[in-house]
Amino acid sequence: MINNLPSYISLIFELTTISTLWLFIWAIRNSKAEQTRKMATPIFIGLTFWLTLQAVLTYKNVYQNDINSFPPKIVVMGILPTFITIFLLFATSKGRQFIDSLPLQNLTYLNVVRIPVELVLYWLFLHKTIPGLMTFEGRNFDIIAGITAPFIAYFGLTKMIVSKRVVLAWNFICLGLLINIVVNALFSAPTPIQKFAFDQPNIAIFSFPFSCLPTFIVPIVLFGHLTSIRQLLKQNLSGS
């Protein structure tokens, strides 16, 4: 836990994490494929276990201890497993079947969680636990994705007023915004790979619940964009 941090900041982030989980399960439950809908409960249980594991690791200061280790423990035990999971989903036939059955509208609406995430990051900056470059006053423009997501979902995927090419471009742009903040966050953390923000490093990600940002929220949002891009590219190629 971060000392002297107002409780409302942690509470809002915890609710944001729960909302991310709920929106992702909502997307799975709204799939047109019955087999995918049946996976909602097992996936919910698995992700809940993962979040619990991250909470335990953080509370036991696993990520904060031996902070000079390379690679950083949060990368090895928190971030890398999620990226491996995403890779396996795209690399296997059953994984691709699951990916292609997810509804684009729901995955797009999921991006609204980026709004409270950006507000929390700004508050964390004010309390000197992350650098200013990680906020919308610095190099982080990720809030744009959260604000525009409902409009893209409604006008592009529900009403079909906006073309699929615009929706595809939006996904690529927002993926770029996500990668931008991830890179800045990783290189701002006080680890052997730190490149920025030596005066006020990114220490919040080593504390619960904020460790759930790189180990849960970011991977879910990343998976949503990659899934959407894959589906939209297939639709463009097929002419649908």
Assess contact for 7 and 202: CB atoms under 8 A.
Answer: no
What is the pLDDT at residue 197? Answer: 65
Token reading at 46? 């698995």
What does the domain layout of the chain look like in residue ranges? 7-238
Per-residue confidence (pLDDT) for residue 1, from 0 to 100: 62
- Average pLDDT of 65-91? 89
pLDDT at 239: 57
pLDDT in tens, 152-195: 999 999 998 989 999 999 999 999 999 999 988 888 887 777 78
Report, as an integer, the average pLDDT of 126-133.
89
Mean pLDDT (the chain) is 91
pLDDT for position 205? 87
Give the pLDDT confidence score for residue 50 in this predicted structure. 97
Q: Write out the DSSP string of 16-40.
A: HHHHHHHHHHHHHHT-S-HHHHHTH
pLDDT grade for 64, boundaries at 50, 70 and 90: confident
Res 176: pLDDT: 95
Summarised one tens digit per residue, pLDDT across range 108-119 is 999 999 999 999
Looking at residue 72, what is its pLDDT?
82
Least-confidence region, from 42-51, 81-90, 153-162: 153-162
Q: What is the pLDDT of residue 189?
A: 81
pLDDT number for residue 133: 87
Model confidence band, residue 4 (pLDDT cutoffs 50, 70, 90):
confident
